[in-house]
Amino acid sequence: MDLRICSWNLWELRGDLPALIEATRDLAPDVLLVQEAPRFVLPTTRLRWFARQVGMEILVGGLGGRGLAILATEDVASRVIRRGAHPVAQQLSDLNSTYPRGVAAARISVPGGAAVVVSSIHFALQQDNRMSHAEHVKALVSSAGAPVIVGGDLNETADGPARRLLDALVQDPAGTDQHTFPASGPKRRIDAILMSEGVRVRDARAVRATDSVDEARLAGASDHLPTIVDVSL
């Protein structure tokens, strides 16, 4: 089973919406792992509208989704075994630490009787909160009993402590030079798709432009660039 998975911080749909929609259509992911989905003013309606524009269905997300969502094609959605999300508690230290954090995940059947778990995460700006979040991800991967693919805005690079905590379980096949932030002049890879053993990677990269959306327009779609992986299971 081949899958294209894209992870993208959508900036709560505040950027260039036509560019966002066109780029997503160009990339044609089977699964879209979303961070900063709409949280205010009809969040479910707005997320459902975006999903329709790109020909996908909502597996997880909407009202109460803590800014996370997982979208998928009709074919992938028909393979969902279970789905859900849970919160990750934050230590409140400043205004930024009040942003709700969590883990959204879906278990998808793979032909032959196997399964894969896909998850969207958005780590905090504060290091202690990122470490707490990484512990949740570590538990998810350790207990999944199947390959796990985790994508998100990690708010730190590969040498950060939260990333190092996960190194023994999940890796970023794209490498550290595939920068994603800021979108207008990317200098750091703080967005990544991490995967455990049992997944064969055919391609992995950050996206700077698509067939119909050039670099300038893509930089206006969100403050982060998307990252994609093509995998075989």
Question: What is the distance between the alpha carbons of residues 229 and 124, in angstroms, rounded to a whole number?
Answer: 23
The string of pLDDT tens digits covering residues 144-153 is 999 999 999 9
Domain count within the chain: 1
Structural domain harbouring 21: 2-232
Count Cβ neighbours within 10 Å for each residue of 122-157 and write b for 16 or more, e otherwise. bbbebeebbebbbebbbebbeebebbbbbbbbbbbe
**Taking the complete model, does pTM exceed 0.85, yes or no?**
yes
The string of pLDDT tens digits covering residues 6-42 is 999 999 999 999 999 999 999 999 999 999 999 999 9
Q: Specify the pLDDT at position 96.
A: 87
The string of pLDDT tens digits covering residues 167-216 is 999 999 998 999 999 999 999 999 999 999 999 999 999 999 999 999 99
Q: Give how far Cα 44 sits from Cα of 16, 48, 122, 130, Å.
A: 20, 6, 19, 27
CATH number at residue 120: 3.60.10.10
